[in-house]
Amino acid sequence: MNSLVGMTTSEITELLTSIGQPSYRGKQISAWIYRRGATSFDQMTDLSSSLRQRLAEQSSVGLPEPQHRAKSDDGVVKYVQAFHDGQSVESVYLPYEDRVSACLSSQVGCAAGCTFCATAQGGLARNLTAGEIVGQYLRMQSESERRISHVVYMGMGEPMWNYDEVIKSIRLLGDEVGLSYRHITVSTVGVPAGIVALAKENIPVTLALSLHAPDDETRSRMIPTGRKWKIDEILSACAQYAQITQRNLTFEYLLIGGVNDSLEQAAELARVLNRYHLPGNVNLIPFNYVETEQGFRRPSRDSIGIFRAELEKRGRTTTQRMTRGQQVSAACGQLRRMHESDKRSVTIELTELGMGKC
């Protein structure tokens, strides 16, 4: 059965003409799915009932089904969305005063093995298709009264390890859904070949690097892929990205108490970024609780302030991520793991878990 989400307008048009329909039907159906929020053929009221029935018999719109929703007091909604094969991922709806963002997953699970991440504890099951990635956005948009204007690829998975489908999904969000490419952010743990390839796509998205440490020894303890790609190699790729695209980057830095939050590490972080003349801001993310073998803890308020002040003193624009969604386990991988545990009659209190970033 054909899933229409994931197809371009031209591909949907080709499908419709192959069953004897005029080409404009493909444009109508594409608009219903990508622009008007239809989740079923029954909602496409300018199609004849016979055509709608025929489409339903041989195709599906193809949106994932929400298995679970959890809403926080601050308006954040965490979804567990399931696909045709029963696999599920997390997606997050993030409303702000001036915009609404959607955090999307690119893989079912993740193979990066980051020691601070709940997703990594479950390993990698499979890649998502472009339709499954875009479908997360469309499902959340269908339930939102506000337009979702921004997308971040910061959910489950490493986008660069599902490169072709991620790029296709970005183009669908821009060309079919109508999002501004400048409102799309792709986050990576640091895959040099993928970073350079993205630069050459000529898509003005924002690249976010999950750096998390200024030196290879500390980073390799946090991110096992750090043993394969050293910081110099990753930042060299980032420098090529900045040169090719003429765009700023975002450097994500998860602050963990006693691990990477010292004054000396802040100074070294500024030095290494400045050495490569890398434009962009450092986004500090104070760690919120995820149970880990290492017993990671949140840094103190004072150490966060000292770390930030040192970066700014050394010329680095620094922001601090707003902590949101704590009541709904907004850290990557937490809610899906809890939902699966609930099905096995294991109870975990939502309020014990907080927000983080893979």
- Residue 9: Cβ within 10 Å count: 18
**Domain limit, last residue, from 60, 76, 107:** 60
238 is catalytic: no
Q: Are residues 158 and 107 in the same domain?
A: yes
Q: Are residues 302 and 339 in the same domain?
A: yes
In a domain, 136, yes or no: yes
Give the model's pLDDT for residue 339.
46
* pLDDT at residue 358 is higher than 90: no
Q: Are residues 38 and 76 in the same domain?
A: no
CB crowding 130-146: b at 16 or more within 10 Å, else e: bbbbbbbbbbbbeeeee
Give the model's pLDDT for residue 303.
96
* pLDDT at residue 337 is higher than 70: no
Residue 7, domain CATH: 1.10.150.530
**Domain limit, last residue, from 60, 83, 108:** 60
90 is catalytic: yes
Q: Are residues 14 and 89 in the same domain?
A: no
In a domain, 207, yes or no: yes
In a domain, 200, yes or no: yes
Q: Are residues 328 and 264 in the same domain?
A: yes
In a domain, 331, yes or no: yes
Distance CA 20, CA 305 (A): 65
In a domain, 138, yes or no: yes
Of the candidates 286, 291, 285, the residue with the CA atom closest to the CA atom of residue 353: 291
Q: What's the pLDDT tens digit per position in 304-314?
A: 999 999 999 99
Where helices occur in the chain by DSSP H, the ranges are 9-17, 23-34, 49-58, 130-142, 163-171, 192-199, 216-222, 231-245, 263-275, 301-313, 334-343
Least confident of 66-75, 251-260, 282-291: 282-291
Q: What's the pLDDT tens digit per position in 72-114?
A: 999 999 999 999 999 999 999 999 999 999 999 999 998 787 8
Across the chain, mean pLDDT equals 89
* pLDDT at residue 10 is higher than 50: yes
Residue 110, domain CATH: 3.20.20.70
The domain tally of the chain equals 2
Q: What's the pLDDT tens digit per position in 166-212?
A: 999 999 999 999 999 999 999 999 999 999 999 999 999 999 999 99
In a domain, 358, yes or no: no
Q: Are residues 44 and 79 in the same domain?
A: no
Q: Are residues 124 and 272 in the same domain?
A: yes
Q: Are residues 170 and 240 in the same domain?
A: yes
In a domain, 208, yes or no: yes
In a domain, 357, yes or no: no
Which of the residues 110, 238, 332, 358 is marked catalytic?
332
Q: Are residues 138 and 237 in the same domain?
A: yes
**Domain limit, last residue, from 60, 76, 97:** 60
Domain housing 6: 2-60
Q: Are residues 188 and 201 in the same domain?
A: yes
Q: Are residues 172 and 260 in the same domain?
A: yes
Which of the residues 65, 90, 349, 352 is marked catalytic?
90
Q: Are residues 74 and 48 in the same domain?
A: no
